[in-house]
Structure 1
């Protein structure tokens, strides 16, 4: 009986340590993601302000960004960086991974800076607020649900690939109907990914918590922050296509 109580007490202590560590881990994920969001917003706002002069015309910087082939590099560079980060994350330090993430956030701000020129500031702010509320609710559900939604992953990733291909094709077609369908599917897919990624981050921590590899935990938090950051950004952009009011 005493041995059973000792085992149960030990298991309870380990469970409490995992719970405490999980909260700290998730706080790290959300904190890193939030810093990245602030960096992106400030970079995008600052660059859009420098791209247009007082007369409402594009400056030299604006022409370089929006009216030259450089815009294609700016558009696809964040996507390239995401794949590069996934390939090199195991070979760089946690500090290097964090620097990479913040650099990515700056580049994403450059890529998204045009929204401050296309849409009114009020509609951008309103869409951001709606996105934040929806993201918080979806992420909370993904964290607290007892339902295993790991099976969603393959379907959602396939959906993302389909969105990327359809978006590239529609750059040349310019079809409003295809653009509407892409936006509608994009909202659904990234809503699902928000819940899925949150649960995956939680489960990954629980599975590796016993090893307590601090380097792994730090890089895992940064990778989790990147995933949720991308979910938020994409959900925001697809919602903006519905809610945004053009200048």
Structure 2
């Protein structure tokens, strides 16, 4: 009996070690995919922001020393801006519906395409805020995100109960943001930004723990295709947490042109 128990304990230890090793590889895949998406977004935003120039060509003036090229006008000063603004939102909702029908490779390409469109959508921040303040806010966001995600991964506390509360807060935040488009109230915008930072800080920790627990719960029955798709979906969730945290912090920390 003692030998049998020793064998069982040894087998359990092997399974635990395999799960731990697999979890580390899974999280590396999640963070790696997210990082590539962030890089694509940053490059796309920077490239499109180059449509604003500081000399005086035959272009539309948008600031004291800044002008839009012809292509810039087509993007920023036409109905096309609404397409660029809402296309990423449509892709996010569509992604959840089609991911089961896509291969892992196709899902990854879809994510990178989404990241590119998000970069086009965010490029307007270079017209509003100074480059230095954008970089500073990005670094602050990166530090905060890393700390929150690390806490979500390492904490022994079960924070799964945060999910419904955070989602309800997010829905309220979206409704308030839409209403404030028409009100254009600085006070409401300030309150939205504060609440937005708190919600996405919580979602960063929550989503990280959920990625970890989902992997552990499916560790015995998962296949490589599920694993790859799960990593991409996790990368998408953390990517959205980072982007939104950055945008809300930029409202506080960004210096406007």
Same fold (TM over 0.5): yes
Q: Does the CA-based 8 Å contact 1:51-1:60 persist in structure 2? A: no
Structure 2 distance, partners of 1:70, 1:156, is 32
Structure 1 distance, partners of 2:55, 2:123, is 17
What is the CA distance between 1:52 and its match in structure 2? 3.9
Structure 2 distance, partners of 1:61, 1:228, is 32
- What is residue 135 of structure 1 aligned with on the other side? 145
Say whether residues 1:147 and 2:157 are aligned partners. Answer: yes
Say whether residues 1:78 and 2:79 are aligned partners. Answer: no
The alignment of Structure 1 onto Structure 2 pairs a total of residues equal to 247
Say whether residues 1:42 and 2:43 are aligned partners. Answer: yes
Q: Does the CA-based 8 Å contact 2:208-2:238 persist in structure 1? A: yes
Structure 2 distance, partners of 1:111, 1:61, is 15
Of residues 59, 69, 84, the one that matches 2:79 is 69
- What is residue 11 of structure 1 aligned with on the other side? 12
The runs of 4+ residues in structure 1 deviating greater than 2 Å are 50-56
- What is residue 136 of structure 2 aligned with on the other side? 126
CA displacement 1:28-58 (0-9 Å, x = unmatched): 0000000000000000000010244633221
Secondary structure of the residue aligned to 1:57 is strand
CA displacement 1:95-120 (0-9 Å, x = unmatched): 01000000000000000001111111
Structure 2 distance, partners of 1:224, 1:54, is 43
Q: In angstroms, what is the RMSD of aligned CA positions?
A: 1.0
What is the CA distance between 1:235 and its match in structure 2? 0.2
CA displacement 1:68-105 (0-9 Å, x = unmatched): 22222211111111000001011100001000000000
CA displacement 1:2-43 (0-9 Å, x = unmatched): 110111000000000000000000000000000000000000
Q: Does the CA-based 8 Å contact 2:52-2:127 persist in structure 1? A: no
Say whether residues 1:233 and 2:234 are aligned partners. Answer: no
Q: Which runs of 5+ in 2 are unaligned?
A: 57-65
Structure 2 distance, partners of 1:13, 1:77, is 46
What is the CA distance between 1:238 and its match in structure 2? 0.2
Counting only pairs closer than 5 Å after superposition, residues 182-201 of structure 1 correspond to structure 2 as 182-201=192-211
CA displacement 1:198-224 (0-9 Å, x = unmatched): 000000000111123100000000000
CA displacement 1:117-152 (0-9 Å, x = unmatched): 111111001000100000000000000000000010
Secondary structure of the residue aligned to 1:192 is helix
Bigger Cα displacement from structure 2, 166-175 vs 200-209: 166-175
Q: Does the CA-based 8 Å contact 1:51-1:63 persist in structure 2? A: no
Structure 1 distance, partners of 2:42, 2:53, is 17
Structure 2 distance, partners of 1:36, 1:195, is 19
CA displacement 1:134-189 (0-9 Å, x = unmatched): 00000000000000000100111111111111111111211101100110000000
Please identify the structure whose Cα radius of gyration is greater.
2
- What is residue 171 of structure 2 aligned with on the other side? 161
Structure 2 distance, partners of 1:100, 1:211, is 26
Of residues 191, 196, 202, the one that matches 1:181 is 191
